Amino acid sequence: MLPSITDVLSELSDTLDGVQHGSYRQALDLLRDAPSRVLVSGQGRSGMVAQMAAMRLMHLGLAAHAVGEPTAPPVREGDILVIISGSGETPISNAFASQAQNEGASVLAITKAPTSTLARAADVTLTVAPITSAQFAGSMFEQAALILLDVIVLDLSGGATDIYAEMAQRHTNLQ
């Protein structure tokens, strides 16, 4: 039987309820105290989530970039690299984490694999461990990662209406 909207929302809620509050707070603190830039990366569909997260962080007023975009700067000391990888074993993501740390940047990993290579290498890891899902492949992880990153942006904004107005002013008008 195909999953219903109610089934998917229930899976998503259960998945996000499993995110550890301590790790979430560490991620918030890392991003709140961002001294420089935030670069966001992922491969495949996780890469699309990364692009959306970079946009939201930019709307918030951070110097945020999606890795791989032509205008993305190099990672440097003081930067934060956010990497989204379900398996935590994606070779290019792990290479990016290593390069970032070699440059003196911090790494925030979002993964469903808390003992993965990426999770072990990261300064802060947010584990989004999907429950058994009726959805195809990694859909639940990607959905949960996107919502988790949007909630982080909401938390960082403080929810004030004037902040939302500023965020709207940063939204592109070339669409």
Which residues are designated catalytic? 142
**SS3 of 46, please?**
helix
CA angle, 113 then 118 then 119, to 5°: 55
